[in-house]
A and B are shown apart, each in its own frame.
Chain A
Amino acid sequence: MSLVFLIFLPLIAALFIPLLFKKLGRIHTGWFVLIVPVILFIYYLTLLPTTLEGGTLVSELSWIPSIDLAIVAYIDGLSLLFSLLISGIGALVVLYSIFYLDKKREQLHNFYVYLLMFMTAMLGVVQSDHLISLYLFWELTSISSFLLIGYWYTRDRSRFGALKSMMITVFGGLMMLGGFVLLSIMGNTYSIRELIAQAPELAGHDFFVWALVLILLGAFTKSAQFPFYIWLPDAMEAPTPVSAYLHSATMVKAGLYLVARFTPIFAVSGTWIWLVTGVGLFTLFWGSFFALKQKDLKGILAFSTVSQLGLIMSLLGASAMGFHVENAAETVFKYAGFAAIFHLVNHAVFKGSLFMIAGIVDHETGTRDIRKLGGLMSLMPVSFTIAMIGSFSMAGIPLFGGFLSKEMFLTAMLAITEFDLFSMDVWGLLFPVVAWIASVFTFIYSFYFVFHTFAGKHKPEELPKQAHEAPIGMLISPAILAVLVVAIFFVPNFVGKWIVNPAVAAIQPFLYDSPSDVHVHVAAWHGAITPELAMTIGIFLIGGLMFWTLRKWQRSYDAFPDKVSLNRLYDHFMYMSDGGANRFSAVYMTGFIRSYLVYMFGFFFLIVLSTLFLNEAFAFDLTDLAPIGFYEIVIALALVGGTITILAAKSRLTAIIALGAVGYSVALFFVIFRAPDLALTQLVIETISVALFLLAFYHLPKSSKKEERIGFKVGNGLIALGVGATMTLVALSAHSQKILPSISEYYKETVYSEAGGGNIVNVILVDYRGFDTLFEITVLGIAGIAIITMIKLRLTKKEGQHENK
């Protein structure tokens, strides 16, 4: 079976969903959808032995061969790991949604079409080996996520959250596209494999740091890193299956995937290590710190997702350090890459289950407000057990998968302090300290989440519904995930060997030749009190103490002013860009014709004059001039006099007469300059024009007939002077620099012999250049028809006084 085809399998299935929904409405549409991820999951499982030996699979679908575009599915350890997560958790989420969404009240066909679209997009992102198709699928995840967040589109908050996530992730996506383009220019290929192969040559390129930063922007926005995490809490307006699937297990990990995938290319750079590790660690702290401020169950989980993504991000950054260390595969630096992937798997598993539990609580009590909840332990024992397993894993407590990855995380952060490149030896000490503090907060919010929901006093009077245990179907998926959480703790090395090692070998090809070279043995007990174990014990003690006193100090969060939050900044930015653009346009778009003419004329003479003088194009040449005659001077004076009269005229009638005088002077010029046909035409046309002007003048409305001289306006005068001077200068320069002789000699010589005429102008008009004349006649005809139409058609009057319509 072709791998590329499998990427599109969910999309093809999506085509049939509306039909199934309409025709077989009695059966919940989700059951049909469930088949797709299950097939995919089973198929991807069969590929595990291949990647275990370091093998890869490639399948290519040519798209636009002439510009080297193709959709290339490339499976190695990393993409297989993600594909398994996507299809596996996808299947569980679909199963959960079958019981979560009501088949009568919800528009299931929309929901599942979007979900399947997302599945294709996500599989495409993780399997693409082609930069452009990776970008294509990347944006498709943004769009399908937008649709899913806005699924309940009648709610304002949903639409707001959908738009916000769209704006931020698409901003990052576009930046990433820029990085991809730079990268493809640097390496002269679109294939990521080939780029990795030539990674050493790329590092010295001018674009290298640009490409690095732009691609990281894409990854940071998608994976909700600081300061771009703000869309994720608002995306919690989506239905809970969506939150569980997109905003914890898959889509937000696309950025992590991107960082992991490009580590072999960028690991050589100190900028990369600092940015990825630093931003990741800061996000880890920020997310865990503010998770405790949240009152909404899904809000807590959103911030905890942000925080955990930061954790994985910082580990990925640390994994790039292995590139700079001699014999890294034998030292502590080997842990970072392994820990990142291991925690990624852990997080997908426990966070998925926690979201599902939050959805169950919401579904069965009618609220997600943690202040109203409490004491559900006895009412919902199964949900409580699952939530406790997930939370304890998140907090890093032994017997659950999270403990192991937390240990390795601390190991990796401690290892950074021994790293002596890029001034890490100075700042390195900050890393384990920040990591430790963040872990304490993680511990507290994990307990806050589970115990403030399920323990304490039951408050039935505040709940919209009578709380009771969820139906068994809804509990299947989170239960499976909870079992996995525990299983990972007991067989970590099985998971490590089959799933994590191939992915690590793909991230750190400079360290390992094949997955079997990754010798990281995960053990819950190292046989002695290691520093990381001491740190973990410290986390439990301090965290436990702080959780005990949570009620006393949680209020201090209210002291953080809302006004300086990042959300306010975003809102303000959106408002400013909207209103600012509006105000900016209003400044110059005045609606007055005069303003626009001023811009046009002003720019005309400024640009022409500056071009003329910057290029030193101005020339003045007195040779080849016609002699100055007496009559010419007289006519020129008459013309100038007429023009001055127009400008100075008090009444419009004078202006019109003076315009006529100017026209006749022009006709006289034509006579003097030996252009009889022009003189004739000009005389006739000037006469008709003046008659028309008089007609228009006669019909002036009574009210505005008040004759007034136009007062002199300095601004207008300056613009007019500029244009006039420009025209004079252009005319002088053009006349002084004739490069080629005229082609008129040909017309003069052949007018009789070739065309059989004597009047050269007329022969040119109807013979040599007859097409001009044809269309000039057309212009005249159109003007005539237009005038008739304008006078005859009076639609607005007949329909009554509908002005402006």
Chain B
Amino acid sequence: MEIIMSFVIGFLFMAAVYLMLSKSLIRIIIGTGLLSHGAHLLILTMGGLGGTAPPVVADGVSVSDYADPLPQALILTAIVISFAVTSFFLVLAYRAYQELGTDNMNLMRGTEDND
């Protein structure tokens, strides 16, 4: 399963990078969303997908059967942080639309004087 997940993650990264290279701001943000999905799945996969029980203490389940709890805790933190950053970006994009009237990154260059 880890092999397949590696390829899925690679595919997510590819799609994310492709979107981030486009000129529309909203596509760039969609790209960052895909990138964080890829990263989260990567952490999970690298921890091993072998556990047969969720990491909640229950009777009759031996210690080795639990899924690895540490990557899950890390991902939980990462999800919240990426959500915070994404929402900030989105509002920034929204404000940029309002002020500049465009979502084309190629137009958001500033002038030669600002260089």
In-complex Cβ contact of B90 among A655, A693, A734, A769 (8 A) = A693
The answer for the CA separation of A732 and B114 in the assembled complex, in Å, is 45
Residues in B neighbouring A656, C-beta threshold 8 A? 30
The answer for the CA separation of A113 and B70 in the assembled complex, in Å, is 69
Chain A, interface size category, equals 35 or more
Query: Shortest beta-carbon distance, A747 to chain B, in Å?
Result: 6
The answer for the CA separation of A601 and B76 in the assembled complex, in Å, is 26
A720 touches B34 (CB 8 A): no
Q: If A662-B34, A735-B45, A783-B84 touch, does A761 touch B18 (CB 8 Å cutoff)?
A: no
Q: Which label, helix, strand, loop or mixed, suits the secondary structure of the A interface? A: helix
Query: Shortest beta-carbon distance, B26 to chain A, in Å?
Result: 6
A472 within 8 A of B: no
A677 within 8 A of B: yes
Query: Shortest beta-carbon distance, A783 to chain B, in Å?
Result: 4
- Closest A residue to B58 by beta carbon equals A758
Taken residue by residue from 685 to 718, chain A's Cβ proximity to chain B (1 for < 8 Å, 0 otherwise) reads as 1001100110111011101100000100100110
Residues in B neighbouring A804, C-beta threshold 8 A? 110-111, 113-114
A689 touches B33 (CB 8 A): yes
Query: Shortest beta-carbon distance, B112 to chain A, in Å?
Result: 9
Q: Which label, helix, strand, loop or mixed, suits the secondary structure of the B interface? A: helix
A626 touches B1 (CB 8 A): yes
A744 touches B8 (CB 8 A): no
A632 within 8 A of B: yes
The answer for the CA separation of A787 and B91 in the assembled complex, in Å, is 7
A597 within 8 A of B: yes
In-complex Cβ contact of A703 among B21, B87, B102 (8 A) = B102
A636 touches B55 (CB 8 A): no
A326 within 8 A of B: no
Query: Shortest beta-carbon distance, B66 to chain A, in Å?
Result: 5
A594 touches B23 (CB 8 A): yes
A182 within 8 A of B: no
Q: If A717-B18, A742-B68 touch, does A591 touch B56 (CB 8 Å cutoff)?
A: no
A765 touches B75 (CB 8 A): no
A615-636 contacts to B, CB under 8 A, are 622, 624-629, 632-633, 636
Q: If A676-B56, A725-B10 touch, does A626 touch B48 (CB 8 Å cutoff)?
A: yes
- Closest A residue to B67 by beta carbon equals A674
A480 within 8 A of B: no
The answer for the CA separation of A728 and B75 in the assembled complex, in Å, is 19
Q: If A626-B1, A674-B52 touch, does A593 touch B13 (CB 8 Å cutoff)?
A: no
Q: If A678-B79, A760-B55, A787-B87 touch, does A724 touch B17 (CB 8 Å cutoff)?
A: yes
B21-65 contacts to A, CB under 8 A, are 21-24, 26-30, 33-34, 37-38, 40-42, 44-58, 63
Q: If A685-B83, A692-B87, A748-B63 touch, does A704 touch B111 (CB 8 Å cutoff)?
A: no
A747 touches B69 (CB 8 A): yes
Q: If A652-B26, A688-B83, A710-B27 touch, does A673 touch B49 (CB 8 Å cutoff)?
A: yes
Residues in A neighbouring B18, C-beta threshold 8 A? 647, 716-717, 719-720
Residues in B neighbouring A725, C-beta threshold 8 A? 10, 14
In-complex Cβ contact of B88 among A646, A769, A787 (8 A) = A787
A58 within 8 A of B: no
B15 touches A628 (CB 8 A): no
A748 touches B77 (CB 8 A): no
Q: List 20 A-B contacts (CB under 8 A).
A: A591-B115, A594-B106, A636-B4, A647-B18, A659-B33, A673-B51, A674-B51, A676-B54, A676-B56, A692-B86, A693-B30, A696-B93, A696-B94, A727-B9, A742-B68, A748-B55, A751-B57, A758-B57, A776-B81, A780-B81
